[in-house]
Amino acid sequence: MLTDDEISSLRLRFPILSQKTYLYSCSQGALSDAAESGLRAYAESWRTSSAPWNDWVEAYEAMRAEFARFIKAHPDEIAIVTSASAGINAIANAIDFANRPNVVMGEYEFPTMGQIWLAQQTRGAHIRFLDGVNNSIPLDAYERAIDERTAIVPVTEVSFLNGFRSDVPAVTRLSHSKGALVFLDGFQDCGTRPIDVKALDVDFYVTGTLKYLLGPPGVAFLYVKRSLIESLSSTLTSWMAQRDVFAYNTKKLDPASEGRRFEGGSPPMPSIYTARPALDLLVSIGLENVACQIEQLTRAFTQGTRALGISTKTPDTTVGPLVVVRSTDAAALVNKLAERGVIVSARLDGVRFSFHVYNNLADVDAALSVLQSNLHLVARV
């Protein structure tokens, strides 16, 4: 666990924290000096190198290897893509729905997950959404819906809408017992605690750098279990997805046997240069330390809202990183918080307070103080 002095030193590396109470990581992580150094390194490489693409490809592959270690996977199982949507699309377009047409997911998935699979209906997919109960998706709802005709079960690790944390191991066991694949969306959790995709036994995992990984938009990662890679032939491909990237054979389709098989075109090098040192910073802090800090803050915030009689959408059993307060006018409440320097975001009738390792208890107190002054804008217990 990090000491108060260590947190104070860490906060100095995020300039916005000297001016704002930044509880916005569920939308965009705060900019660090590490990420800024990556931007400068990219500009320097472009300005000085006689063959910048040689340097950039080296950085690109280093990014793949670093993220693979981060989630306990092998580099050959990782595709670097430009967004979570790009990663999900690559797999959705590779699934054969002839014998297993069903796709089962909870209603609290991020919209792109639902929309991409709904788009597969023209290819024979049947989409079934599971209704939430008290801002959770009960495990027995999955048990009733998943059967031998289920192709895949997309599941969010932490819901963007209400902070609900899925029981991923249980959903995975249920799905695999019926022969269905599992696609885990870790975007709202990756970077807040240790992650081991092998221990979870999920078949696919997608996340991006712009939230809790403290990076920019433009870089996301798709993990595909090694045993599945060559069995999936997506209609979405590119020259970077071929076995020999530099074969330059326009008349030959020869997808790679590794995770690159699911990549798009030329990689977004400025974003990769920015994301790498941000990821290194998280690793140097230690994901166990990150998780402890976030748990302390979310518990304190939840206890504070409860003491004020404020209704939250986040289940009591969920601990971090996202706590969602139910509001009678979410836009107005976001504005009131911003006027006091507290940066948050809203989704529907919920105002989202997201905590990261660089936040402290003073941030919790600042947010609670604004809520106490605006109880007319929150739903009461």
Q: What is the pLDDT of residues 309-331, one digit of tens each?
A: 999 999 988 888 999 999 999 99
DSSP, res 310: B
Listed in sequence order, the residues at least 6 apart from 7 whose beta carbon sits closer than 8 Å to its beta carbon are 293, 357, 358, 360
pLDDT, averaged across the chain: 97
**Sequence spans of domains, the chain:** 4-30+286-377, 36-282
CATH entry, 36-282, from 3.40.640.10, 3.40.50.300, 2.160.10.10, 3.30.930.10: 3.40.640.10
Listed in sequence order, the residues at least 6 apart from 240 whose beta carbon sits closer than 8 Å to its beta carbon are 260, 263, 264, 265, 266, 267
Residue 318 has a pLDDT of: 84
CATH entry, 4-30+286-377, from 2.130.10.10, 3.40.50.150, 3.90.1150.10, 3.90.550.10: 3.90.1150.10
C-alpha distances in angstroms, 134 versus 14, 127, 146, 321?
36, 22, 21, 19
Intrachain domains 4-30+286-377 and 36-282 with the same fold: no
pLDDT tens-digit series, residues 151-172: 999 999 999 999 999 999 999 9
User: Residue 126 pLDDT > 90, yes or no?
Assistant: yes
Q: What is the mean pLDDT of residues 179-202?
A: 98
Whole-model pTM?
0.96
Asked if 162 and 314 count as a contact pair (C-beta separation under 8 A), the reply is yes
Q: Which residue has the higher pLDDT, 317 or 299?
A: 299
